[in-house]
Amino acid sequence: MSLTTIVLNILLPPLAVFLKHGIGLTLLVSILLTMLAWIPGIIHAFIVND
């Protein structure tokens, strides 16, 4: 995992997921988790961008 990906996972989790997986269910889940609470969105981004 690159430094850029780590920074994006923390600051903009949906963008990091989009760059790796594109538009789809994974992106939707990331957006919802980030909107509900920031920390679950970050955790989800780190898991899917493994």
pLDDT tens digit string along 15-45?
Answer: 999 999 999 999 999 999 999 999 999 999 9
pLDDT at 46 over 90: yes
pLDDT at 34: 96
pLDDT-derived band at 1 (thresholds 50, 70, 90) equals confident
Q: How far apart are CA 14 and CA 16, in angstroms?
A: 5
pTM for the structure as a whole:
0.89
Confidence of residue 50 (pLDDT cuts 50, 70, 90): confident
Query: Nearest 5°: CA angle at 27, between 6 and 44?
Result: 45
CB 16 within 8 A of CB 5: yes
Contact (Cβ atoms closer than 8 angstroms) between residue 42 and residue 13: yes
Evaluated on CA atoms 4, 1, 22, 10, the torsion sign reads negative
Contact between 33 and 40 under an 8 Å Cβ cutoff? The reply is yes
